[in-house]
Amino acid sequence: MSIRIRKIGRIGQITLQRPEALNAVSHEMVLAIEAALYGWREDERVACVLIDAEGHKAFSAGGDLQFMHETASKGDFEPGRTFWRDEYRLNAKIANYPKPYIALCQGFTMGGGVGVSLHGSHRVVGESSKIAMPECAVGLIPDVGGSLLLARAPGRLGEYLGITGYRMNASDAIFAGFADYFIPEADWPGLTETLIETGDWSAVTALARDPEDGPLMALRQQVDAHFGGATLTEIVGSLPADDWGSATAKTIRSASPLSAACTIELVRRARASGDIRVALQQEYRFTSRSASQGDFVEGIRAAIIDKDRNPQWRHKDIEAVTAAEVEEMLAEPPGGDIAI
């Protein structure tokens, strides 16, 4: 298995070990992490949990989408649905874990990688951190509880980050509420050793520093002015014709129109509920239909399988997506909402 799970000293340590695949989170890894967390809840020898990853490029660039594409492209949608149900259950457990849950997130932290790290209580970023929810570009939506993280961002940054897939640096991530602490990555090995020896999470706060300002803070006023529109079409139509507005509109229009339109609605539903379980249930409504009724299979084909970067979405442009189609994708599934 591409993961190491162990009790060492005073901590439970989870280390992702698929650097050649940018530590993509597989179904097997999800189940192993869940089992470990269950076992450590009442274990007095485990004072806190630390999740980290091997390799410099990524903590985890996402879930194992290639596996789900292999089955979904053959018309078998259940393996993907099973993966998402189990993954979302883990995300909720992490968000409500009774012990400190410390995540060290270097490099790319996206999609499924966000789900196993950034719902924790102590989220650490460093110089190389690049955090994003880029799912609209592959025919999905920001899931693994990402809609709630986006909803908690200041102003309308949630809508902006969700439909553009903007890559946040350490400062951006802290400003947007996706991370808590900036610690220089050279200090991470020493921090790990201290945690193993003491189990004292205050070692994290002791090493935290102020990062250099990122660009997201400066964008806040523009984002708030344009991303509060009632619909995706209204948002894009309001963007200015300057360099930022043109580039932003181009990025949004390159994504799956259906995914982007549903993302706006999901972020707003999550903002209204403020509940991780509700957010995950709403996300599953979309992801469970993403292969059979959405753009998931085509999005993964274009980005990961054939890599032609030329997806043929079900809708030619964002204006073609109707409110009824958004409601259909986000309606309660025939069997009822999943239990989280």
Catalytically annotated residue among 64, 135, 172, 298: 135
- The residues, ordered by sequence, that sit 6+ positions from 187 with a Cβ below 8 Å of its Cβ are 207
Most distant CA pair in the chain, distance? 59
Taking the C-alpha atoms of residue 52 and residue 57, their distance in angstroms, rounded to an integer, is: 13
283 is catalytic: no
Q: Kindly state the tokens that stand for 308.
A: 């032609």
Amino acid at 49: V
Taking the C-alpha atoms of residue 135 and residue 317, their distance in angstroms, rounded to an integer, is: 17
Question: Any idea of the CA torsion for 100, 22, 300, 257, to the nearest 10 degrees?
Answer: 50
Catalytically annotated residue among 52, 64, 87, 143: 143
- The residues, ordered by sequence, that sit 6+ positions from 22 with a Cβ below 8 Å of its Cβ are 55, 57, 58, 60, 61, 62, 108
Number of H helices, E strands in the chain: 16, 9
Cβ atoms within 10 A of the Cβ of 154, count? 14
Q: Kindly state the tokens that stand for 313.
A: 């979405």
Catalytically annotated residue among 63, 111, 113, 145: 63
Closest CA to 268 of 230, 321, 238, 295: 230
Amino acid at 26: S
8 Å CB contact between 170 and 127 = yes
112 is catalytic: yes
Catalytically annotated residue among 12, 62, 112, 113: 112
Amino acid at 37: L
111 is catalytic: no
Taking the C-alpha atoms of residue 79 and residue 86, their distance in angstroms, rounded to an integer, is: 11
63 is catalytic: yes
8 Å CB contact between 49 and 10 = no
Taking the C-alpha atoms of residue 121 and residue 49, their distance in angstroms, rounded to an integer, is: 10
**What is the set of active-site residues?**
63, 112, 135, 143
